[in-house]
């Protein structure tokens, strides 16, 4: 008899959803939760991953990564108790070790699933694929990698225009981004844009596109962001588009999300390079009492600006031999979390 792995994985997914629902209850029974954890892991372990086809592997990776997210959340206070029923947890001595590895595992699983979806793009539904990107984005955000989170959510536009889960999560990321900023007018602009987007999603979404409990969470986020504006930002005006400058180079950069500007991380405007190192004071540098960290920051910023300008010249200039000098010696640096939150360079690869 041939095993129906799709049905099995759908069943495991339902078990994971039940576990998630238990967490939403303020007084869930620990014994019941432990039973669900044990059942889910037994079912995962009964499946030989190598025997699955691409669609089944995608489902397996996606579902298991979702489960590991819940496992991380529920075990943070009772790690030793959950180790008794979880083979995953038994690999780690301490909760912090598990969390560190779990972030990496979840990211790898979602990324591997995305690679597989590209081989089955005509079989898997676009909504299913889009949700994988949304969940990957949320892992990045949990880690403080806000820019990478935003970039993953924006990729969903290539699959489904106006996908509710992606739109609502991106709206919340406006708040995440605002927490990295010292300019209160930019903070207000971002949070207001996020509130507006959440309001539109919550009004228009249907139950078949978003479960009621998820919708309730987004409505609560909207209220929270409105409260921030009313309580903490009521005395400032939001950033305005008139602050952008009319310059070909700067407009070129902002269209590709290459401006060093927090607004440009999400939108195709905000073309003034106004990201600066926060004034942390010399005390941050301990006994050395020097400015070494500032020097690193400025070096990275200068190299980024040079690379960006070379790209601009390549893209906008014509040459007799068809090759610009910078194409021989151009280097795009990977700035990771530049500065502190990251600046994306992936858009430039299309040039």
Q: In whole angstroms, how large is the CA radius of gyration of the chain? A: 23
d(CA 268, CA 258): 9
- Give the pLDDT confidence score for residue 11 in this predicted structure: 97
pLDDT at residue 279 greater than cutoff 70: no
Among 142, 95, 141, 323, which Cα is nearest to 86's? 95
pLDDT at residue 104 greater than cutoff 70: yes
- Look at 159 and 323; give whichever has higher pLDDT: 159
Among 111, 104, 115, 205, which Cα is nearest to 164's? 205
pLDDT tens-digit profile of 283-323? Answer: 444 555 555 556 666 777 787 888 888 888 878 876 666 66
pLDDT at residue 177 greater than cutoff 60: yes
Residue ranges of the domains in the chain? 1-124, 145-239, 245-350
The mean pLDDT of the chain is: 86
Residue 180's pLDDT band (boundaries 50, 70, 90)?
A: confident
pLDDT tens-digit profile of 3-47? Answer: 999 999 999 999 999 998 888 776 578 889 999 999 999 999 999
Count, residues in the chain:
351
- Give the pLDDT confidence score for residue 229 in this predicted structure: 98
In percent, the amount of the chain with pLDDT more than 90 equals: 64
pLDDT at residue 324 greater than cutoff 70: no
pTM beyond cutoff 0.85: no
Helices (H), 51-183: 54-74, 79-83, 95-119, 126-142, 146-155, 164-178
CA atoms within 13 A on the CB side of 303: 15
Per-position DSSP letters for 70-98, written without gaps between them: HHHHHTSS-HHHHHTT-TTGGG-SSHHHH
pLDDT at residue 278 greater than cutoff 90: no
- Give the pLDDT confidence score for residue 293 in this predicted structure: 57
Contact 54, 119 (CB under 8 A): yes
pLDDT tens-digit profile of 251-270? Answer: 999 999 999 999 999 999 99
Distances (CA, A) of 48 to 7, 15, 57, 137, 310: 15, 19, 10, 28, 50
């Amino acid at each position: 008899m041939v095993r129906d792995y799709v049905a099995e994985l759908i069943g495991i997914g339902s078990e994971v959803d039940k576990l998630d629902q238990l967490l939403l209850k303020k007084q869930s029974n620990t014994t019941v939760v432990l039973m669900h954890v044990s059942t889910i892991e037994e079912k995962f372990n009964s499946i030989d991953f190598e025997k699955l086809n691409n669609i089944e592997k995608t489902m397996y990776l996606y579902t298991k990564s979702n489960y590991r997210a819940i496992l991380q959340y529920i075990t943070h206070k009772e790690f030793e108790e959950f180790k008794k029923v979880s083979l995953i947890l038994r690999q780690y001595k301490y909760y912090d070790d598990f969390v560190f590895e779990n972030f990496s595992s979840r990211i790898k699983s979602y990324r591997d699933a995305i690679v597989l979806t590209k081989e089955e793009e005509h079989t898997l539904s676009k909504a299913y694929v889009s949700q994988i990107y949304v969940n990957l984005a949320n892992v990045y955000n949990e880690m403080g990698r806000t820019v990478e989170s935003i970039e993953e959510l924006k990729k969903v536009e290539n699959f489904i225009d106006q996908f509710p889960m992606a739109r609502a999560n991106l709206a919340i990321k406006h708040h995440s981004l605002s927490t990295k900023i010292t300019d209160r007018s930019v903070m207000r602009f971002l949070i207001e844009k996020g509130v507006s987007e959440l309001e539109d999603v919550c009004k228009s979404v249907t139950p078949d596109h978003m479960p009621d409990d998820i919708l309730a969470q987004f409505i609560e986020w909207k209220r929270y962001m409105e409260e921030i504006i009313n309580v903490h930002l009521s005395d400032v005006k939001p950033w305005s588009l008139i602050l952008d400058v009319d310059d070909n180079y700067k407009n070129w950069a902002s269209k590709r999300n290459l401006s060093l500007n927090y607004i440009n991380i999400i939108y195709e405007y905000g073309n003034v390079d106004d990201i600066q190192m926060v004034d942390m004071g010399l005390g941050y540098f301990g006994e050395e009492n020097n400015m070494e960290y500032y020097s690193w920051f400025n070096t990275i910023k200068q190299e980024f600006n040079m690379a960006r300008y070379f790209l601009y010249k390549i893209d906008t200039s014509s040459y007799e031999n068809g090759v610009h000098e910078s194409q021989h010696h151009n280097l795009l640096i990977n700035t990771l979390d530049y500065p502190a939150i990251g600046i994306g360079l992936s858009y430039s690869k299309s040039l």
